[in-house]
């Protein structure tokens, strides 16, 4: 079911990192097995502390916290760019040089190590403009490697990305409950030499997120777990969790509880959205309601994301349709989420 990946204990004695490193596929980069995403509430000093502990892969985006996150990253890496592996999410068109330059300028760097196209529709992943953009920006030295990050139609987007063949890294949202569906994808990615970064791994796993870490790290092909961490204590817990031995009995229990925990919660497959005859962004609305509103620290993100959606469903326009809810194989009360988002976030 799962296979151990090549763990390289960080053996550099000088300034010995507290966290193990793994190769990020064929990129030639080595990154820590637990790494920093940049979510809400992250202080610059917490990031600096993480980097000092060896958690030196940081992924950021211009969009997080209305631009505050990327500025915090810039501050945290100032004077130590050489110690950091930098991931940057591209939220603009693949020919928009100005946006790319502005993001790099904000970060105070000449280039990113990995740039991630942020795509949530498999058909869009196949659009040749992304390959063209990636090749052009690579030639211009804007980044060294190209990644694909996705959290909607996730499995299909990843498969499309693998078919395209030019990605070096994939970064899906993923939890233990998705293992059966995603393992063949991870196996294929590993075989093709791609690095795999997991994000949003704690979704609906409250209470077991650190215990589950060794099980994620033992999954085929996984390089690192990337998550926003807002306290020194959680940095330490993440690192400790990454060193914990694999407990097979705990694995059985965690997998079973992950399935139960995910039942009725969104897996971000996007099928509800595909079913919507009005083209409403149903899955994004469910994400805002189901995920963000369940975590106090993400309420602002929920608000911003919802308000940024171009086509939110409205109950007065939906009528009795309910095709989205009927399309959901995970039993998510989609109509309830639409109503809740409309009430709380609009
Ligand atoms: S609500 Fe259901 S169908 Fe829609 S994205 Fe979530 S799991 Fe998939
Ligand atoms: S209920 Fe509304 S959001 Fe859902 S499928 Fe129908 S029109 Fe789309």
pLDDT tens, residue by residue, 235-253: 999 999 999 999 999 888 8
pLDDT at 3: 45
- The answer to whether 90 and 119 have CB atoms below 8 angstroms apart is no
- The answer to whether 126 and 164 have CB atoms below 8 angstroms apart is yes
Is the distance from the beta carbon of residue 266 to the nearest atom of ligand 1 less than 6 Å? Answer: yes
- The answer to whether 125 and 94 have CB atoms below 8 angstroms apart is no
Nearest bound ligand to the CA of residue 272: 1
pLDDT at 7: 41
Is the distance from the beta carbon of residue 272 to the nearest atom of ligand 1 less than 6 Å? Answer: yes
Give residues with Cβ within 8 angstroms of 305, minimum separation 6.
Answer: 284, 287, 288, 292
Pick from 289, 322, 332 the residue to mutate for probing ligand 2's pocket: most ligand atoms within 8 Å of its CB: 322
- Atom nearest to 285 CA in ligand 2: 3
Q: How far is CA 262 from CA 37, 177, 220, in A?
A: 23, 7, 22
Is the distance from the beta carbon of residue 324 to the nearest atom of ligand 2 less than 6 Å? Answer: yes
Is the distance from the beta carbon of residue 313 to the nearest atom of ligand 2 less than 6 Å? Answer: yes
Residue with tokens 């390089």: 223
pLDDT at 6: 38
Q: Looking at domain 21-255, which CATH architecture does it have?
A: Alpha-Beta Barrel (3.20)
Phi, psi of 327 (to 5 degrees): -80, -15
Is the distance from the beta carbon of residue 315 to the nearest atom of ligand 2 less than 6 Å? Answer: no
pLDDT at 5: 41
Pick from 310, 317, 318, 332 the residue to mutate for probing ligand 2's pocket: most ligand atoms within 8 Å of its CB: 318
Q: How far is CA 220 from CA 35, 38, 103, 137, 196, in A?
A: 18, 25, 33, 30, 9
Residue-range domain boundaries for the chain: 21-255, 271-344
- The answer to whether 44 and 74 have CB atoms below 8 angstroms apart is no
Detail the DSSP E strand segments found in the chain. Answer: 21-23, 30-32, 34-37, 57-61, 85-90, 112-118, 143-150, 169-172, 195-199, 222-228
pLDDT at 205: 62
Q: How far is the CA of 338 from the centre of ligand 2 (A)?
A: 9
pTM of the model: 0.83
Q: How far is the CA of 324 from the centre of ligand 1 (A)?
A: 8
Digits of tens for pLDDT over the chain (346 positions)?
444 443 444 444 445 568 999 999 999 999 999 999 987 667 899 999 999 999 999 999 987 777 788 999 999 999 999 999 999 999 999 999 999 999 999 999 999 999 999 998 999 999 999 999 999 999 999 999 999 999 888 999 999 999 999 999 999 999 888 899 999 999 999 999 999 999 988 766 655 678 899 999 999 999 999 988 888 998 999 999 999 999 999 888 888 888 787 778 888 888 999 999 999 999 999 988 887 677 766 787 788 888 888 888 888 888 889 999 999 988 899 999 999 999 988 8
């Amino acid at each position: 079911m799962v296979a151990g990946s090549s763990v390289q204990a960080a053996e550099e004695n000088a300034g010995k990192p507290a966290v193990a490193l793994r190769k990020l596929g064929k990129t030639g980069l080595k990154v820590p097995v637990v790494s920093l995403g940049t979510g809400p509430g992250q202080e610059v000093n917490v990031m600096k502390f993480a980097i000092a502990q060896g958690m030196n892969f940081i992924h950021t985006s211009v969009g997080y916290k209305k631009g505050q996150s990327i500025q915090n990253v810039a501050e945290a890496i100032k004077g130590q760019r050489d110690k950091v592996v930098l991931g940057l999410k591209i939220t603009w068109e693949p020919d928009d040089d100005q946006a790319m330059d502005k993001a790099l300028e904000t970060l105070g760097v000449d280039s990113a190590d990995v740039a991630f196209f942020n795509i949530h529709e498999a058909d869009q992943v196949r659009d040749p403009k992304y390959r063209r953009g990636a090749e052009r920006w690579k030639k211009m030295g804007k980044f060294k490697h190209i990644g694909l990050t996705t959290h909607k139609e996730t499995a299909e987007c990843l498969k499309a990305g693998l078919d395209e063949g030019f990605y070096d890294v994939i970064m899906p949202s993923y939890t233990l409950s998705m293992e059966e569906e995603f393992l063949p994808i991870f196996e294929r990615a590993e075989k093709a030499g791609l690095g795999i970064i997991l994000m949003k791994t704690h979704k609906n796993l409250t209470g077991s997120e650190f215990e589950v870490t060794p099980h994620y790290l033992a999954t085929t092909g996984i390089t690192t777990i990337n998550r926003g961490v807002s306290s020194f204590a959680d940095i330490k817990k993440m690192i400790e969790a990454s060193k914990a031995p694999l407990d097979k009995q705990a694995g059985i229990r965690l997998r079973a509880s992950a399935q139960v925990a995910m039942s009725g919660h969104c897996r971000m497959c996007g099928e509800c959205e595909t079913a919507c005859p009005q083209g409403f962004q149903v899955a994004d609305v469910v994400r805002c309601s189901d995920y963000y509103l369940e975590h106090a620290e993400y309420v602002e993100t929920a608000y911003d994301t919802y308000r940024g959606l171009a086509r939110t469903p409205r109950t007065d326009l939906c009528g009795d349709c309910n095709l989205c809810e009927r399309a959901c194989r995970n039993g998510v009360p989609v109509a309830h989420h639409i109503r809740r988002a409309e009430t709380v976030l609009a």
